[in-house]
Amino acid sequence: MTCRHLAAAASGCDTAFTVDASRVTFGPGALGEVGDRARSLGMRRVMVVTDPRVRALPWFDDVVRSLAASTIDAAIFDAVAIEPTDGSFDEAARFARDARVDGYISLGGGSVIDTAKAANLYATHPASLRTYVNAPVGDGQAIPGPLAPHIACPTTCGTGSEVTGIAIFDWVSLHAKTGIASPRLRPSEAIVDPRTTETLPANVVAASGMDVLSHALESFTARPFTLRAAPATPTARPLSQGSNPWSDLGCREAIRLAHTYLARAVADATDREAREQIMWAATLAGIAFGNAGVHAPHAMAYAVAGRVRDFSPAGYPSGPIVPHGMAVAVNAPSVFRAFAQFGAARHLECAGLLGADTRGASETDGGTLLADRVIALSRTIGIPNGISGVGYTEADIDDLVAGTLPQQRLLANAPCHVDAACLRELFHHALSY
């Protein structure tokens, strides 16, 4: 393996971490609080961001009714694309400017919430799209001031976007999946109503559940914040701070909950306890990775999803697509197996939280034990068996490596130095398990 140890010297590295989290309201029926909470944030006319599928569900009516009860005007934008693009971000920002809104309510999955973040950003601080997009794809400029208030209401149990300052999109002409990352993008509040998971198809729960699990595993095994170079000023500390004691708390519990409830939540849509617990795990893992950052499995997932040829899983709209959580899950075992040497005790602890028998195991067994548990859970809930399961072969690896290298924000958060040679090996070992 050609991954290399990071300089272990703490000299010049950070000595503190920052806890940044949205206000979260969690519980069945919580969507009924949207209007009152919007009014207390000063909203009078809002853009409700959703997609056509969610608009047809009862949760949309709950939100609109609650806003009306608080005499808040709503301009409905339901044209969110399943995977947002530069074009769909532009369209949403234009809608926001034309509608002259003073706040945002997003109701949907990660694509919806990310689109609301982008609409808010570009309507509040107009600029060309590339201005705030992460370097090296965009200019990576800092967002100059606060945004309008945004209440995010997730209807899937995966992305954690409701509690993070990250918005992801496809830059179509550049063939790049990229994003914008800033604490200013973080929604003002998250309203998490676990009833929304009742309407999710089983394999959407499977893919998004694996995303939850990987958020927690990657945040827990990321480079420790004490090994990241100190920021130039305290407020310039990056979102991807590295693993830290605050994020560790949420990661441990999210991993434990995924082990206990994910297979149940996939197997039976009427198992309310299991689906509610996975929604809670998603919230915890979102808060954790919003403060620690994910690493290689997510960086590789952008290439795996972005270069899809003809894979079309059931339960998703037609057209070639590797759902985000699935694109992450097919890489994760390969990464944990290879990187465990850079954080042996942490990988072993994760394996134990996922049900591995760690009695008598040495720390060096952690990577294999953890990878085996992730593979076993993937099999149980119908996640494809490696990147060959979503249509890639050995011949695609150079292209996948080229698609991953621009994700420097994520690769720099790995527990070791990750270069092209390292990625080539990781993809090779991720072909099938």
Binding site for Zn ion (CB under 5 A): 211
Give the rounded distance of the alpha carbon of 347 from its chain centre: 21
Q: Which of 119, 328 has the CB closer to Zn ion?
A: 328
Q: Which of 297, 366 has the CB closer to Zn ion?
A: 297
Alpha-carbon Rg for the chain, nearest whole angstrom, is 20
* Segments in 189-271 forming alpha helices (H): 202-221, 245-267
Please report how close the Cβ of residue 208 comes to Zn ion at its closest, in angstroms: 9
Q: Which of 14, 211 has the CB closer to Zn ion?
A: 211
Rounded to whole angstroms, the Cα distance separating 302 from 323 reads 10
Specify whether the CB–CB gap between 249 and 364 falls below 8 A.
no
Q: Which of 82, 230 has the CB closer to Zn ion?
A: 82
10 Å Cβ neighbour count for 68?
12
Specify whether the CB–CB gap between 134 and 140 falls below 8 A.
yes
* Segments in 75-161 forming alpha helices (H): 86-99, 110-124
Q: How many helices (H) and strands (E) does the chain have?
A: 16, 10
Rounded to whole angstroms, the Cα distance separating 307 from 243 reads 30
Q: Which residues contact 392 (CB under 8 A, 6 or more apart)?
A: 304, 307, 400, 431
Please report how close the Cβ of residue 215 comes to Zn ion at its closest, in angstroms: 6
Which of 250, 218, 210 minimizes the C-alpha distance to 346? 218
Please report how close the Cβ of residue 22 comes to Zn ion at its closest, in angstroms: 17
Rounded to whole angstroms, the Cα distance separating 352 from 248 reads 15
Q: Which of 35, 384 has the CB closer to Zn ion?
A: 384
Please report how close the Cβ of residue 300 comes to Zn ion at its closest, in angstroms: 12
Please report how close the Cβ of residue 113 comes to Zn ion at its closest, in angstroms: 12
Please report how close the Cβ of residue 321 comes to Zn ion at its closest, in angstroms: 15
Q: Which of 131, 331 has the CB closer to Zn ion?
A: 331
HEC assignment per residue over 286-299: HHHHHHHCCCHHHH
Please report how close the Cβ of residue 327 comes to Zn ion at its closest, in angstroms: 9
Please report how close the Cβ of residue 352 comes to Zn ion at its closest, in angstroms: 23
Residue 24, beta-bridge partner list = 190
Rounded to whole angstroms, the Cα distance separating 63 from 106 reads 10
Q: Which of 35, 238 has the CB closer to Zn ion?
A: 238
Please report how close the Cβ of residue 265 comes to Zn ion at its closest, in angstroms: 17
Rounded to whole angstroms, the Cα distance separating 206 from 211 reads 9
Q: Is 344 exposed, middle or buried (0-12, 13-18, 19+ CB in 10 A)?
A: middle
Q: Give the relative orientation of helices 332-339 and 366-380 as an angle to the nearest 10 degrees.
A: 170
Q: Which of 329, 356 has the CB closer to Zn ion?
A: 329
Q: Which of 211, 365 has the CB closer to Zn ion?
A: 211
Rounded to whole angstroms, the Cα distance separating 149 from 41 reads 7
When CB distances to Zn ion are compared, the closest residue is 211
DSSP 357: -
Please report how close the Cβ of residue 346 comes to Zn ion at its closest, in angstroms: 19
Q: Which of 286, 367 has the CB closer to Zn ion?
A: 286
